[in-house]
């Protein structure tokens, strides 16, 4: 019988805590997560870390139960070491270390951004994509070059998800606002020109956000604001993605992160891929957001490449850059 490696991955970089179990064959056995929902929107780091500490053990237990395995079946623990909010990372790392010590199994430290890409590659079977990673806290265009994942472009101020949430709050919508903006935009008919800010392969959303708020105070219809914001914000993102494809000459475009759930964004990026004869894949909803399965999968990749970390050296890295990690499993 061929032995299978079973990995429990813990994700807790921001407002979500997740536990996922994967095998080295790429099967997701279980993937449980919970997102801190605040009435006001926004995340307070301490509040989020308390959420992780309080719900974490229960989510982990549920994850193991759903995978129909026992604690002793777990071969290794992987955790999100960074980048993210310090208190959240520390709460998550503490649970990971405790389990690794208690079960006496290896611990592996995973970069959150890299994990998003690799789980997307597993799902899409892509070999070497340009990745557009869009979420509440991140807006990055990443590609593999010279044994590292390198950020070719990113936001110079706020992340796209954050921009949509702040806009939603101003416009009196709930949190997260992204899905509401998407629905309202379908009824938009008049386009209002908003600041379109692309700098090299970077972009900026703060000017557009301010202008959109101003439209609201001038009494412009919500649907038209949402429509104009989506077309402008996604257009900028498409442009930097296209620049990255033209520059790297890669033939695959991967869309991931929580904002990947947006259908209009997907449609626009499909257009970019088509123009460059590249394949396109949007990561499925359950693997696009922050969750533990991606951490578990990346942990397995690292473990198979011979990398583990000692508990005593597993301090969290809130500012861990994507290009600071050696990608041992790719050449």
Q: How far apart are CA 174 and CA 146, in angstroms?
A: 43
Stretch that binds other proteins, among 188-196, 207-215, 279-287, 307-315 (CB under 8 A): 188-196
Residue placing its CB nearer to other proteins in the complex, 57 or 200? 200
**Residue 14 touching other proteins (CB under 8 A):** yes
Q: Please identify which residue in 90, 195, 270, 279 interacts with other proteins, judged by CB under 8 A.
A: 270
**Residue 189 touching other proteins (CB under 8 A):** no
Q: Please identify which residue in 11, 118, 231, 252 interacts with other proteins, judged by CB under 8 A.
A: 231
The two tokens of residue 194 are: 């908003």
Stretch that binds other proteins, among 3-11, 33-41, 59-67, 154-162 (CB under 8 A): 154-162
The three-point CA angle 67-68-73 to 5° equals 90
**Residue 199 touching other proteins (CB under 8 A):** yes
Residue placing its CB nearer to other proteins in the complex, 7 or 253? 253
CB of 132 to other proteins, least distance (A): 13
For residue 272, the 8-state DSSP code is H
**Residue 49 touching other proteins (CB under 8 A):** no
Cβ proximity of 107 and 138 under 8 Å: no
Q: How far apart are CA 177 and CA 194, in angstroms?
A: 19
Cβ proximity of 79 and 96 under 8 Å: yes
Cβ proximity of 150 and 142 under 8 Å: yes
Nearest to 105 by CA among 77, 78, 81: 77
Stretch that binds other proteins, among 54-62, 77-85, 163-171, 303-311 (CB under 8 A): 77-85
Backbone angles phi, psi at 2, to 5 degrees: -80, 130
Residue placing its CB nearer to other proteins in the complex, 41 or 235? 235
Query: What element of type H or E holds 281?
Result: strand 279-282
Cβ proximity of 41 and 27 under 8 Å: no
Stretch that binds other proteins, among 16-24, 147-155, 290-298, 305-313 (CB under 8 A): 147-155
Q: Which of the residues 200 through 229 are near other proteins (CB under 8 A)? A: 200-202
Question: How many residues belong to the site for other proteins (CB under 8 A)?
Answer: 52
CB of 250 to other proteins, least distance (A): 13
Residue placing its CB nearer to other proteins in the complex, 150 or 169? 150
Residue placing its CB nearer to other proteins in the complex, 69 or 145? 145
- Give 30's Cβ-side CA count (13 Å radius): 23
Q: How far apart are CA 256 and CA 286, in angstroms?
A: 11
**Residue 9 touching other proteins (CB under 8 A):** no
Q: How far apart are the first and last CA of the chain?
A: 30
Query: What element of type H or E holds 206?
Result: helix 206-217
Site residues (vs other proteins, CB under 8 A): 14, 83-86, 137-140, 143, 145-146, 148, 150-159, 191, 193, 196, 198-202, 231-232, 235, 238-239, 242-243, 245-247, 267-272, 274-275, 318-319, 323
């Amino acid at each position: 019988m061929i032995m299978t490696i079973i990995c429990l991955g813990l994700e807790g970089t921001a407002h979500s805590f997740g536990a996922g179990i994967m095998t080295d064959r790429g099967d997701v056995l279980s993937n449980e997560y919970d997102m801190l929902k605040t009435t006001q929107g926004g995340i307070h780091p301490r509040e989020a870390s308390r959420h992780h500490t309080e719900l974490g053990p229960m989510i982990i237990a549920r994850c193991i139960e759903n995978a129909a395995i026992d604690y002793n079946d777990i071969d290794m623990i992987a955790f999100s070491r960074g980048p993210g909010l310090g208190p959240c990372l520390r709460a998550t790392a503490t649970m990971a270390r405790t389990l690794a010590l208690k079960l006496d199994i290896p611990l592996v430290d995973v970069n959150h951004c890299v994990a998003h890409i690799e789980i997307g590659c597993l799902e899409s079977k892509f070999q070497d994509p340009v990745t557009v990673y869009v979420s509440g806290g991140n807006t990055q265009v990443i590609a593999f070059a010279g044994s590292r994942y390198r950020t070719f472009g990113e936001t110079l101020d706020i992340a796209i998800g954050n921009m949509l949430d702040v806009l939603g709050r101003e416009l009196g919508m709930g949190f997260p606002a992204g899905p509401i903006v998407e629905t309202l935009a379908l009824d938009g008919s008049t386009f209002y020109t908003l600041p379109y800010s692309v700098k090299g392969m970077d972009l900026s959303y703060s000017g557009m956000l301010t202008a959109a708020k101003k439209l609201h105070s001038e009494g412009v219809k919500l649907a038209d604001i949402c429509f104009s914001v989506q077309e402008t914000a996604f257009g900028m993102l498409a442009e930097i993605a296209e620049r990255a494809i033209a520059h790297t000459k890669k033939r695959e475009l991967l869309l991931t992160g929580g904002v990947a759930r947006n259908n209009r964004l997907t449609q626009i990026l499909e257009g970019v891929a088509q123009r460059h004869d590249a394949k396109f894949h949007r990561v499925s909803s359950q693997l696009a957001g922050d969750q533990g399965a991606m951490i578990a999968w990346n942990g397995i990749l690292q473990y198979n490449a011979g990398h583990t970390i000692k508990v005593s050296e597993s301090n969290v890295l809130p500012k861990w850059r994507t290009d600071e990690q050696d990608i041992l499993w790719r050449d």
